[in-house]
Structure 1
């Protein structure tokens, strides 16, 4: 019959070192390229852990017990709890890194605007390594600030979402004016949909890579509407990340 477990939903904190040792004051010393690189590492680990939960058919809030309080026999409870426990601090790390990247980018543009114009360098002079790193940080900054905040869980055939080209697994980085900083648990997405019936909304997504390929960053036009033959105005189910 099994043992009843009252605290089964409490995450199990794994022992041992974390992959993101630099935090708090230590991050103040990191350059913008270093912050972006650390953000990418954290996101990669979050994606891998999310895949673990997906493989069990659960998310961060799926109940792990039966209606009468016993562990669900169809789930690997220990692995799910350990995975959830790792995801929680990583999400906090990710939010902290994104806030620091945004602050660093604002400072970068303010300094660039205040600096006097520089004469063009001779064509024969090669770009120094620090200058190349700054240029790379500038190119990556806008992409870094567009962090995914929702995932497309399912798409109904012939729906507005399907017509726009959304697919299950797509991760949304921007939905109109809504992004990772202001989505408010996706409530702003719902508000944007209600305010734009019959109007195309620009949606930016990251599409997972096929085996051996790089992930794709795409932009689609999604027009919310009623009377398309299904429920809601989109025809897709979104999950917060």
Structure 2
């Protein structure tokens, strides 16, 4: 068996053995760093399975019940177990990040609800509506290209647009854009709200837009959107 199918060196994480880390004690920056680390390791381990030509659910036995001799079964099993642990860690990290974000904006609203005091009397503060860029956080994807006359083009999406939300998908839960694909599949023929940040021609300022994009087939091209998104 060729050596190039063996696993690359992958850094161990909290689920790889030893005492588990208490993720709830991590700060928000540390949680974001942990999220990126887990996603990077998941990507590397996925490449290991692909090198064997198998997936998480692929059978490791022949049709008559014997172990397959065309793959390293022990390595595939070890990789699958690691992926399962990492997926669980990723869910917990995302839960804690979302919890932290909600707490942050709750504190902001409490701060805005009461203004400065005058002679011991609370003066109601002027609460301004927050912009999409604040409530949705940083963009998680960019529009790399848009096919003319496609659903994306007809909705007004342009190459270079930064995606802040796609339906109920945002930077907290997009899972390397896999959730975007689910939203597209589940909303064929129905408009989906896509919030984007678009730079002006000079690049010195941006405009926040809410675009209604309707996924559909048989528009004359591939896919149901007619645009290519890349993660940021």
TM-score (norm 1): 0.50
- CA gap 1:82/1:104 in 2 versus in 1, 3 angstroms: same
Match of 2:188 in 1: 193
Aligned-residue CA RMSD in angstroms?
Answer: 4.8
- Of 128, 137, 140, the match for 1:142: 137
Match of 2:7 in 1: none
Matches within 5 A, 1:1-241: 18-20=12-14, 26-115=22-111, 142-143=137-138, 175-178=166-169, 180=173, 188-196=183-191, 202=194, 224-227=215-218, 233=224
- CA gap 1:76/1:45 in 2 versus in 1, 3 angstroms: same
- CA gap 1:143/1:49 in 2 versus in 1, 3 angstroms: farther
Q: What SS does the aligned partner of 2:49 have?
A: helix
Deviation by residue 1:146-175 (Cα, 9 ceiling, x = unmatched):
59xxxxxxxxxxxx69x999xxxxxx9965
Deviation by residue 1:170-203 (Cα, 9 ceiling, x = unmatched):
xx9965434648989x76542212435xxx8759
Task: Give the Cα–Cα distance (whole angstroms) in 1 for the partners of residues 73 and 188 of structure 2.
Answer: 37
Structure with larger Rg: 2
Tell me how far 1:38 sits from its aligned partner.
Answer: 1.4
Aligned length: 166
TM-score (norm 2): 0.52
Task: Give the Cα–Cα distance (whole angstroms) in 2 for the partners of residues 203 and 82 of structure 1.
Answer: 40
Greater relative contact order structure (CA < 8 Å, 6+ sep): 1
Conserved 8 A contact 2:187-2:215: no
Structure 1 gap ranges (5+): 1-16, 120-137, 148-159, 166-171, 205-220, 236-241
Match of 1:215 in 2: none
Higher strand share: 2
Tell me how far 1:77 sits from its aligned partner.
Answer: 1.3
Structure 2 gap ranges (5+): 1-10, 117-132, 142-149, 197-211, 227-232
